[in-house]
Amino acid sequence: MGLLQRLTRASFSHGIHPADHKAETRDKAIRRLPFAPRLVVPLAQHIGKPAVPLVHVGQEVLRGELIAHADGFLSVPVHAPATGVVEAIELRPTARGDKGMAIVIRVYQGDSQMIAGGVPQNLTAMTPEALIAAVQQAGLAGLGGGTFPTHAKLKIPEGFAIDTLLANGCECEPYLTTDHRVMLEQTDDLLRGVRIAMRACGAPRAIIGIEDNKLDALAKVKAAIRPGEPIEAQAVKTKYPQGAEKILLKSLLGREVPSGGQIFQTGACMLNVGTLAAIGKLLPRGEGLIERVITVAGPGVKQPGNYRVPLGTPVGFILEQLGFNGSAAEVILGGPMMGQAVASLEVPVTKGTSGLLVMNEAYLNQPQRKSHPCIKCGECVNACPMHLNPKELGLLAAKGEYEKMAELFHLNDCFECGCCSFVCPSAIPLVQQFRVAKAANRGRAA
Amino acid sequence: MAKKELQMKVTIELRTSPHLRKTHSVEKIMRNVVYALLPLCAFAVYQFGISTLALLLTVLASCLLTEALFARLGGREVSINDYSAAITGILLALTLPPGFPLWMGAVAGFVAIGLGKSLFGGLGYNLFNPALVGRAFVQAAFPVAITTWTPPFAAGRFVEFIPTTLTLPFTIPADIAAWSQQVAVDAFSGATPLALYKFEGVTTPATDLLTGSIAGSSGETSVLLILLCGAYLAARRMMDWRIPAGIIGSAAATSGLLYLIDPGSYPPPLFMLFSGGLMLGAVFMASDMVGSPVTPLGVWIYAILIGVVTIVIRNFGGLTEGVMYAILLGNAMAPLIEAATQPRAYGHLRRRARS
């Protein structure tokens, strides 16, 4: 990698460079975890209306069978991740802290767990509309964590056209190596998915953006691209939050999503490489999404690595399987910058879970930083990738001026990446303040 | 229905994202500024002897005690261990003449912290640089004492105090012009290079300015050391390098322009840069985070403003020294500058002026 190449690598301004903690798991091949005794499959693993159950309590289901159908356009169906019997359809704890309806399946131990219901499809004969319908039928939502229904992303509204499909292979969160392994081990699925997605959204070309700490994946992806194909794999600078949709769009194409707008308005469509690999794997077989790869890492887990787990697997089961160090932990679903700490080990892995971080006493016992008043150092202003003024936002939030934050300082453009809280030397909980402000504004508007 | 299948006992702790933080803190930044100031203090003591040491300690103690007192009075936690009052104390002492009476130094410290910081609410809430508030106060209150200079490298500076140092509290110090002539190594005129230029038209050579063989306050006379210490802080990303760069650049440009227009009436730019408190002010005072803007464009405007105003005051004002008032003016204008230079947020077309 030449110096000139490194210096001119596509990137955005601001951002932060946290320690990446990926050495532990980046070279570990994906391994399959066994089925938990019970799988808790939420009906709402995506943005939009929850799916509607098709099964009833006591019904036997086969792995891969459709157990809940989509409710309208902005919704995706749910498939059974294992063969077993439906034990309950009831409220269960979710990662966000509230409870949501879920189908609880008691898995038949010792069953062959063959996937049923997959009808091979002839994709080349299908129109873009048919492809989009197939993507919805596969139960796909953004696997990078956004969980936006993938078919809704590919269906471009009237009056807009896509000139480039962007594949997000950045995985900028520390600890996570899921997408890295998928790019290395499912390269053909990924490319197949890119080609299908290009046809579905009408994009004449595609760019796969990969951070430059994953050059082995970049090389593998480049090798899998057929000569003459309008697909390109490009390295981008390793920086957080390079993998955020708005930020990667800026790095790769130099375009900005208008405030309050959507990415398709700029002529681009972006999908995570995990989602694209799932499209490439499931659509030809006509199967639904029933499992995903997650990175399990952190000082609290004895066997960190990348694991393929059935959707609905409770977090506690994974900890039992992989061994837990210590007696107390913060268990995070997702990455350490934007991930959610779970309040119960019964919370399951869902379509949007990219990682499971177990932060035990080694992390918890670090001295709690006392908050000082804002010393106006300006580090937050230099870090915010959206070029907001977190200092002003923080000072207004401390006074409770939530409306001013939204009207004058673009509070609603903040996507809570955490860069400002990360750099603040006074340890001011900026992101928390912004969340409170947004909730207060929503409550006032309601 | 929800049977306890999980056998292990784990205590779960809940926190919100982000779960990672950078390890630097306010204490670390302030402590490093103190470390960067220690060489300057050492050099000042070397130049002027135990009087400077006594002044440093007195002003420092006064600042720390004042901060503790006001914190206690206001019901706030005493936070002198965040080193910010210590920085104020050291910087304030470095701007005072070496022979400044100790009791006046204590007053300066009290006013600096009390009026310049604690009354506003403590760390982070002050509008002006506290050290400069203290200096401005004693400049007005004790105009003779603050312009009484002593020669550097005087014989016996490590064994005897300058006569004015130990003046009894609330009394005016005696005239020490005769004493200064007596202990000076070279002929000593009792005026700083800036005063010499303004009132007598004498330009001091740059080498003297750089090495400190001139009259001046303790911290003004060691330009090289100031630049080195500033470079240390900038390298550790604890100081915004744009502010000193902007001030030095604009001061050089303004004085250079004036010098080009009329070399007879205006001093050369290098003389302007190395004399007086410009370096100390640019590197340590103007870059004080609380008083300076945070927006990228705002920082440059602030720095350029200070540089230009300093040169204007020095050349066209009645005072010999302008950087103190220029910085105070910059501090006062910082909120307005910030409001006018909000960055263009992602996804918006224009930056909007905010009040």
The CATH number assigned to the domain holding A278 equals: 3.40.50.11540
Write down the pLDDT at residue B190.
67
Q: What is the ipTM of this complex?
A: 0.86
A369 assigned to some structural domain:
no
Output the six-digit token pair for A22. Answer: 């990926």
Question: Is some CB atom of chain B closer than 8 A to the CB atom of A261?
Answer: yes
- Whole-number Å distance between alpha carbons of B92 and A25: 53
B26-48 vs B223-235: helix axis angle to the nearest 10?
A: 170
Write down the pLDDT at residue A231.
96
Do A249 and A304 lie in a common domain?
A: no
Task: Determine the residue type at A202.
Answer: G
DSSP code, position A126: S
Do B199 and B178 lie in a common domain?
A: no
Output the six-digit token pair for A418. Answer: 């955490």
Write down the pLDDT at residue B320.
73
Do B224 and B314 lie in a common domain?
A: yes
B258 assigned to some structural domain:
yes
Residue at a domain's end among B128, B160, B190 = B190
Question: Is some CB atom of chain B closer than 8 A to the CB atom of A324?
Answer: yes
**What does the buried/exposed string (b/e) look like for A369-404 if buried means 16 or more CB atoms within 10 Å of the residue's CB?**
beebbbbbbbbbbbbbbbbbbbbbbbbbbeeebbeb
Do A20 and A111 lie in a common domain?
A: no
Do B238 and B175 lie in a common domain?
A: no
Residue at a domain's end among B190, B205, B221 = B190
Q: What DSSP element (H or E) covers A293?
A: strand A291-297
A367 assigned to some structural domain:
no
- Whole-number Å distance between alpha carbons of B19 and B37: 35
Percent residues over pLDDT 90 in chain A = 88
Please answer whether residues A390 and A433 qualify as being in contact, where contact means their C-beta atoms are separated by less than 8 angstroms. no
- Whole-number Å distance between alpha carbons of A71 and A68: 9
A276 assigned to some structural domain:
yes
Q: Does A261 score more than 50 pLDDT?
A: yes
Write down the pLDDT at residue B8.
65
Output the six-digit token pair for A384. Answer: 């915010």
Do A142 and A203 lie in a common domain?
A: yes
Question: Domain residues for B183?
Answer: 26-148+150-190
Residue among A285, A276, A283, A288 at smallest CA distance from A41: A288
Do B186 and B246 lie in a common domain?
A: no
B155 assigned to some structural domain:
yes
> How would you write the pLDDT of chain B (355 residues) with one tens digit per residue?
344 445 567 888 888 889 998 888 888 888 999 999 999 999 889 888 899 999 999 999 999 999 999 988 888 877 767 789 999 999 999 999 888 999 999 999 999 999 999 999 888 899 999 999 999 999 999 988 888 888 888 878 888 888 888 888 888 888 877 777 777 766 666 677 777 777 777 777 767 776 666 767 766 667 888 889 999 999 988 888 999 999 999 999 999 999 999 888 888 888 888 877 888 999 999 999 999 999 989 999 999 999 999 999 988 887 777 889 999 999 999 999 999 998 889 988 875 544 3
B349 assigned to some structural domain:
no
The domain total for chain A is 3
Q: Give residue-wise pLDDT tens across range A181-235.
A: 999 999 999 999 999 999 999 999 999 999 999 999 999 999 999 999 999 999 9
Residue matched to tokens 């990175």: A295
Do B304 and B176 lie in a common domain?
A: no
The DSSP secondary structure of A231-248, one letter per residue, reads EEEEEE---BTTTSHHHH
Residue at a domain's end among A270, A285, A300 = A285
B11 Cα to chain A: minimum distance (Å): 4
B-facing residues of A in 405-444 (CB < 8 A) are 408-410, 413, 416, 418, 421-423, 425-427, 429, 431-432, 435
Do A152 and A257 lie in a common domain?
A: yes
Residue at a domain's end among A285, A300, A321 = A285
Within 8 A of A343 by CB-CB distance, chain B residues are: 12, 14
Instruction: Verify whether the Cβ–Cβ distance B21 to A90 is below 8 Å.
Output: no
Task: Region of B49 please: left (phi>0), alpha (psi -120 to 50) or beta.
Answer: left
Mapping DSSP to helix (H, G, I), strand (E, B) and coil, where does residue A269 land? strand
Do A297 and A231 lie in a common domain?
A: no
Residue among B195, B234, B164 at smallest CA distance from B317: B195
Do A151 and A99 lie in a common domain?
A: no
Beta strands A84-93 and A38-42, pairing class: unpaired
- Whole-number Å distance between alpha carbons of B21 and A422: 4
Do A18 and A62 lie in a common domain?
A: no
Q: Give residue-wise pLDDT tens across range A359-394.
A: 999 888 888 788 889 999 999 999 999 999 999 999
Question: Is some CB atom of chain B closer than 8 A to the CB atom of A204?
Answer: no
- Whole-number Å distance between alpha carbons of B132 and B321: 13
DSSP code, position A369: P
Give the confidence band of A2 by pLDDT, cuts at 50, 70, 90. low
Do B224 and B329 lie in a common domain?
A: yes
The domain total for chain B is 2
A314 assigned to some structural domain:
yes
- Whole-number Å distance between alpha carbons of B256 and B276: 17
Question: Which residue does chain B place closest to A96, by CA atoms?
Answer: B16
Write down the pLDDT at residue A288.
95
Do B254 and B210 lie in a common domain?
A: yes
Do B142 and B207 lie in a common domain?
A: no
A157 assigned to some structural domain:
yes
Q: Give residue-wise pLDDT tens across range A50-103.
A: 999 999 999 999 999 999 999 999 999 999 999 999 999 999 999 888 899 999
Task: Determine the residue type at A180.
Answer: H
Do B158 and B219 lie in a common domain?
A: no
- Whole-number Å distance between alpha carbons of B5 and A38: 9
Do A217 and A260 lie in a common domain?
A: yes
Range list of β-strands (E), A51-204: 52-53, 60-61, 66-69, 78-79, 84-93, 99-107, 164-169
Residue at a domain's end among A225, A260, A285 = A285
B10 assigned to some structural domain:
no
Do A91 and A112 lie in a common domain?
A: yes
Within 8 A of A88 by CB-CB distance, chain B residues are: 1
A379 Cα to chain B: minimum distance (Å): 8
Write down the pLDDT at residue B213.
66
B27 Cα to chain A: minimum distance (Å): 9
Residue at a domain's end among B174, B190, B206 = B190
Question: Domain residues for A91?
Answer: 33-118+290-361
Do B176 and B213 lie in a common domain?
A: no
B9 assigned to some structural domain:
no
Do A108 and A197 lie in a common domain?
A: no
A105 assigned to some structural domain:
yes
Mapping DSSP to helix (H, G, I), strand (E, B) and coil, where does residue A42 land? strand
Question: Which residue does chain B place closest to A92, by CA atoms?
Answer: B2
Do B186 and B255 lie in a common domain?
A: no
- Whole-number Å distance between alpha carbons of B230 and B243: 11
Write down the pLDDT at residue B354.
43
A371 assigned to some structural domain:
no
Residue matched to tokens 């009075």: B73
Question: Which residue does chain B place closest to A255, by CA atoms?
Answer: B347
- Whole-number Å distance between alpha carbons of B106 and B92: 11
Give the confidence band of A34 by pLDDT, cuts at 50, 70, 90. very high
B206 assigned to some structural domain:
yes
Within 8 A of B15 by CB-CB distance, chain A residues are: 330, 341
Task: Name every residue whose Cβ is closer than 8 Å to that of residue B263 and which is 6 or more positions away in sequence.
Answer: none
Question: Is some CB atom of chain B closer than 8 A to the CB atom of A393?
Answer: no
B15 assigned to some structural domain:
no
B40 assigned to some structural domain:
yes
Write down the pLDDT at residue B4.
46
Query: Mean per-residue pLDDT for A35-64?
Result: 96
Q: Does A139 score more than 60 pLDDT?
A: yes
B93 Cα to chain A: minimum distance (Å): 23
Q: How many CB atoms lie within 10 A of CB A60?
A: 13
Do A333 and A208 lie in a common domain?
A: no
A287 Cα to chain B: minimum distance (Å): 30
Do A106 and A146 lie in a common domain?
A: no
Q: How many CB atoms lie within 10 A of CB B153?
A: 15
Do B165 and B211 lie in a common domain?
A: no
**What does the buried/exposed string (b/e) look like for B77-101 if buried means 16 or more CB atoms within 10 Å of the residue's CB?**
eebbebbbbbbbbbbbbbbbbbbbb
Write down the pLDDT at residue B352.
54
Question: Is some CB atom of chain B closer than 8 A to the CB atom of A99?
Answer: no
A425 assigned to some structural domain:
yes
Please answer whether residues A263 and A250 qualify as being in contact, where contact means their C-beta atoms are separated by less than 8 angstroms. no
